[in-house]
Structure 1
Amino acid sequence: MTPKRWLIIAAAALITLLVWFGLYFHDIQKPQWTLERNMSQAAIQTGDISEVDELFMHVWESKTWIAEGEDENGRRSYVFLTGEGEPLFTVEAEDVMTEEDVRARFEAENANEPEIDMIRLQPGLLRESPVWEVYYSLIRDGVRRYYYQFYSFDRDADLIETYKLPAKTGP
């Protein structure tokens, strides 16, 4: 076989592999995409928002979905839904400290910790009340530990609770 034929066969094999991987990825992700689309529609059906800008899944005591979006008048709100898509309540964004302000506050409160790394900041539900959840890691004495901190979901964003995860699990 000539080098040109080998090149054509290799290109065809590569294209076939890429198409197969794309179809496989789509098949794996389809249930998650469908669930997210259904939760977005459930949030819009509450009538509190007309467009979902961001959707969060929060799992703590139970699975909760939080949709952030705007209504027809441009007012931003957070719609909290159960894991099944039933509405729990809506919180207007003007009544809540912004995500950027919570992030800045967390960084300011921990400015003396050079080895701290915020992994995630998102709205959530703790004891049936809306909260800001901060998931972060901190290295102390050469050991990386992980923490959850919960802040009130209002203009003050007061610290409610801190959970320290074990450094090592298992036998």
Structure 2
Amino acid sequence: MSQNLNVGPTPKTIEGGCLCGALRYRADFPPDHDWADNSSTCQCTQCRKNLSSLFLACHRIKPASCFQWTTDTSTLKHYRASKLASRPFCIECGSTIGYFPAVEGYDYVCIAVGTVDALYLFGEGADGVVVPKEGFGRALVNGLGPNLWCKNEIKGVTDNIPLLNRSERLQEE
């Protein structure tokens, strides 16, 4: 287990979903979940194009059975940019939910942290009992886990973002 320092309060459960609300999920974290190691970012071209963003901030949930859809999945589709993984998304609003391994032996899912509900991410609507006022954003995306595909970083832009420089910067996937 890596360092779990400076990640703030940690949740037992989070919920999230797509922009239109057709797809909803819930993740239950085991007591020994490593918050630092399971927080990651990626700067690969596939993640950038898939999210229309400079990098993906994601959180790995393992085992995969800790993740479950809580709504009907009739609007769920999976895009396969490679043989390694699928990228689940909503066909109604286009929201990408994350990155799901498609290779046998990988028992986890990675959720795009931007799909986590505001209540859990930054405490919007928190009453202080269920969720702390500041939410769990720092636990979910803290920069202490791997930063993937840094060989694709954009000089003068993503190479100088503190979040992307806190931990191991992997040059390959």
More strand by share: 1
The higher relative CO (CA closer than 8 Å, separation ≥ 6) is in: 2
TM over 0.5: no
More helix by share: 1
Q: TM-score range by the shorter chain?
A: under 0.3
Question: Could you say which structure has the larger radius of gyration?
Answer: 1
